[in-house]
């Protein structure tokens, strides 16, 4: 149970750091920030393992930079798609109902 809590907290911190690094406004909900932060952490760990820097003496700064970097890339890709999906969706429904009247 505590492992799930730590995963969610790490996802939140990594996702929020990624959003702070990106310029501009990202109109995505907090739950999506957490999910993208978790995915960024997992993919960052895989990359760190692949290049041999997952476990180092002291703080694993390279691994953490990779985790946040992946989360930045994910948010940069997903945020515009999320905004497009939610701004045009209402217009599309209105056109369909207006055409039926």
CB 19 within 8 A of CB 26: yes
Given CA atoms 80, 86, 91, 96 in this order, what sign does their dihedral have? positive
Q: Residue 90 and residue 92: Cα distance in Å, rounded?
A: 5
- pTM for the model stands at 0.79
In angstroms, the CA 56 to CA 66 distance is: 14
Asked whether residue 95 carries a pLDDT value surpassing 80, the answer given is no
For 61, the domain range is 2-100
pLDDT tens sequence across 27-82: 899 999 999 999 999 999 999 989 988 777 888 889 999 999 999 999 999 999 99
Q: Cα separation of 38 and 29, whole Å?
A: 15
CA dist 85 and 47 (Å) reads 31
How many domains does one find in the chain?
A: 1
């Amino acid at each position: 149970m505590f492992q799930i809590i730590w995963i969610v907290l790490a996802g939140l911190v990594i996702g929020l750091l990624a959003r702070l690094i990106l310029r501009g406004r990202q109109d995505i909900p907090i739950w999506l920030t957490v999910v993208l932060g978790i995915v960024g952490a997992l993919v960052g760990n895989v990359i760190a393992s692949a290049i041999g820097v997952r476990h180092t003496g002291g703080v694993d700064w390279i691994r953490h930079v990779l985790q946040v970097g992946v989360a930045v890339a994910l948010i940069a890709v997903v945020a515009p798609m999320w905004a497009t999906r939610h701004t045009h969706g209402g217009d599309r429904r209105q056109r369909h109902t207006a055409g039926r009247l």
